[in-house]
Amino acid sequence: MQYKFKFIKYAKLWFTVSAIAILIGIGAMINNRMTIGTSLVYGIDFTGGSVMEFEFEGDLDPATDELYTAIDTAFPDSVSQITATDQNTYIVQSKDMSEDQLQAVRTSVSEAIGNYELLRFNTIGPKIGDTLKRKAIIALAIALVAIVLYIAYAFRKVPKKVSPWRFGFSAIVALAHDIMITLGVFALLGFEINAFFITALLTIMGFSVHDTIVVFDRIRENLKKQGRNDTFGDIADMSLNQTLTRSINTSVSTLFPLVALYIWGAEVIRIFIFALIIGIFVGTYSSIFIASPVLTIWQERNRLR
């Protein structure tokens, strides 16, 4: 059986690279826990708080420091983030703000900077934030279970006495790998986790498992042609070589527009796009270097017992 590169032979190397990346992320989470009191920087979607968007009149274009000072004067230590948008507006995230506190902030900003229009004001209570966090975790858990069940069902007729459940759980290992590294990058960079990030994670899971299923399907087809001296690792290597170009081309063609959106897109979606870029890159890696080696090692260990 001829194939170009032996992926399975270097499985320990791929696992080591992934383990280092995951450990760096875990270290960043531990450091965040010790310095800011939480492993990840949660947005107001999960912690509760208020969002205001200011648009100033005429030639007024204050620096974010000026706006921060004006708000801090009326409501001390409340601002968590100020973002200047491409539409010359300013989005302010702060602690949960009452109506009286909002009026004090509006007066302070008007006196310190000048006339403006408050385009929006949204507030989320801490209880709602906790509810959203819990539902986000449940959504991710349901997605993982559904993926295992679907793959196990789709591969139920796999030949050569290979359990379809191994395909499902190997895909889940790859997905857990993708989620952990993406979370680790956000913890390391101090980027905010919000509802958009959860949407990005679900999108990443869908992209990654689709790529993994393509490889697994090729393994299933090649198992039907397995020779007497061919091991499961040989079949996996051949399948990975056959699907490698397709996987890379799909990922690169997806990453190009995402990078363009990250550079030139609106500020409000930049973190969402960044999460997709990291997740798709890591997901492509895991579908090639994690999912199939895990499946192969599991299958061959069982065969040797």
Q: How far is CA 84 from the centre of its chain?
A: 24
Fold of 49-123: Alpha-Beta Plaits (3.30.70)
Nearest Cα to Cα of residue 292 among 234, 250, 225: 234
Q: Both tokens of residue 265?
A: 């897109």
For residues 298 and 305, give the distance between their C-alpha atoms in angstroms, rounded to a whole number: 11
The per-residue pLDDT for 81 is 80
Using the CB atoms, write b or e for 135-148: b if 16+ within 10 Å: ebeeebeeebeebb
The per-residue pLDDT for 198 is 86
Q: Where would I find the H helices in 190-228?
A: 195-223
The per-residue pLDDT for 232 is 86
What are all long-range contacts of 137-145, with beta carbons under 8 Å and residues at least 24 apart? 139/198, 139/202, 140/179, 140/198, 140/201, 140/202, 140/205, 143/202, 143/205, 144/172, 144/175, 144/205
pLDDT lower than 70: segments of the chain: 1-3, 126-129, 159-160, 302-305
Nearest Cα to Cα of residue 167 among 299, 8, 289, 18: 299
For residues 168 and 33, give the distance between their C-alpha atoms in angstroms, rounded to a whole number: 33
Q: Both tokens of residue 113?
A: 């900077």
Q: Is 62 helix (H, G, I), strand (E, B) or coil?
A: coil
Q: Under CATH, which number does the domain 8-39+128-304 receive? A: 1.20.1640.10
The per-residue pLDDT for 304 is 43
Q: Where would I find the H helices in 155-269?
A: 164-189, 195-223, 232-264
Which segments of 150-304 are extended strands (E)?
192-193
- What residue spans in the chain does CATH classification 3.30.70.100 cover? 49-123
Q: Name the CA dihedral angle for 217, 219, 225, 228, rounded to a multiple of 10 degrees.
A: -160
What percent of the residues of the chain are helix, what percent strand, and what percent coil, each to the nearest 5? 70, 10, 20
Nearest Cα to Cα of residue 273 among 166, 184, 170, 200: 200
Nearest Cα to Cα of residue 209 among 168, 246, 245, 261: 168
The per-residue pLDDT for 164 is 83
For residues 296 and 9, give the distance between their C-alpha atoms in angstroms, rounded to a whole number: 11
- What residue spans in the chain does CATH classification 1.20.1640.10 cover? 8-39+128-304
C-beta of residue 303 within 8 angstroms of C-beta of residue 226: no
| Radius of gyration of the CA atoms of the chain, in A | 24
C-beta of residue 53 within 8 angstroms of C-beta of residue 60: no
